[in-house]
Amino acid sequence: MIPDLPKPVDIAVPLFVAAILAEMWIVQRRNRAAYEPRDTLTSLILGFGNTVAGAMTAGAAGAVAMWTYEYRLVTIGWTWWAWITAFVAYDLSYYWAHRAGHRIRWFWASHVIHHSSQHYNLSTALRQTWTGFIGLSFIFSMPLFFLGFHPAMIAFCAGLNLIYQFWIHTEAIDRMPRWFEWMFNTPSHHRVHHATNPRYLDANYAGVFMLWDRMFGSFTPEDDVDPIRYGLVRQLGSFNILWAATHEWVGIARDLRRAPWQAKLGYIVMPPGWSHDGSRDTSDSIKARWRDREQPRGESRSPMPEAAE
């Protein structure tokens, strides 16, 4: 029998609000520039839009999940070990969804909204996609349903995963204890993920467990000699909410219209910034230039993230 599970994120909303207020209080004393009123309002409204979009597409996403579950290999059930396995397995699927979200432009078009702020505070955590369903990131969870995890169990674990990721969007915490930094995603690791400095591009995709980045070669530690700048390689320069939510989709549409036929698919499946004539920068080309400049000087003390293929 399917248990009547609550929605973890709904329950956590008061905690989100309380944590943001606490961070604002800290920031007021330490670094007022960590917040910007228009940026905060943009982030919060984008978060609200994500809730509305999620409510509108939840039925369709649930139907796809249940359809996949109908063809499951085994029925895993609702035992305690199933919950633990589901949580870890979902986190692994999240890692690959997130990595694809940075390396494949179609997925990036949906995810870019989360990186569009030049600030890094708890309100940034709520800057979430409006186009997740179109972005198709849910396909990365489908193997879990096919294996036999019930969609309701995975949805619950996804909620917990999202709640975990809220608190790491802050500069108010420097480093956690060493063992914690090794095992879990932390503010330091996730600051790197939101950075635009060439050294840090395309790194630290983990949701909860840092193990995945260490295993799959995408881990980069924060280096205090290279202070982090946040946002996008090409900053939006706008607080327009609709533009933040849709600009990459508009970019894809424009590129598809202009590109020669043989190049059109590339503008959908290649990394963000890819162009058929090589006239634009990708994160790989920026990192390559950075390596060329820094490594002969011996200044690259941190391991570079592997280019995600």
Partner 1 sequence: MATLPGWVMLVVKFGGSLLAIFAIAWLVKRMGLGKGYERIRDEAHAIALAEEAEFGFGGVAADVDAAGYGAIVRNATGVMLLVRAHGNRFAARRIDAGFTARLDRNRLWLQSGERAFGSVELDFGGRASVIASRLRTVI
Site residues, partner 1 (CB under 8 A): 10, 13, 17, 20-21, 24, 27-28, 32-41, 44-45, 47-48, 51-52, 55, 118-119, 123, 196, 198, 229, 231, 235-240, 243, 247, 286, 289-290, 293
* Least distance in angstroms from the C-beta of 11 to partner 1: 12
**209 beta partners:** 184
Dihedral sign for Cα atoms in the order 83, 173, 51, 238: negative
CA 30 vs CA 19, 24, 33, 242: distances in Å: 16, 10, 9, 32
Contact criterion met (CB below 8 Å) for 39 and 118: yes
Could you tell me which of 125, 240, 249 has the C-alpha nearest to residue 193? 125
* Least distance in angstroms from the C-beta of 259 to partner 1: 18
* Least distance in angstroms from the C-beta of 3 to partner 1: 20
Could you tell me which of 175, 167, 150 has the C-alpha nearest to residue 82? 150
For residues 297 and 28, what is the distance between their CA atoms, to the nearest angstrom? 39
Residue among 39 and 222 whose Cβ is closer to partner 1: 39
**230 beta partners:** 195
* Least distance in angstroms from the C-beta of 307 to partner 1: 16
Residue among 181 and 294 whose Cβ is closer to partner 1: 294
Residue among 44 and 183 whose Cβ is closer to partner 1: 44
* Least distance in angstroms from the C-beta of 234 to partner 1: 8
Residue among 24 and 82 whose Cβ is closer to partner 1: 24
Residue among 21 and 84 whose Cβ is closer to partner 1: 21
- Residue that has been written with the tokens 């790197």 in this structure: 192
For residues 57 and 133, what is the distance between their CA atoms, to the nearest angstrom? 7
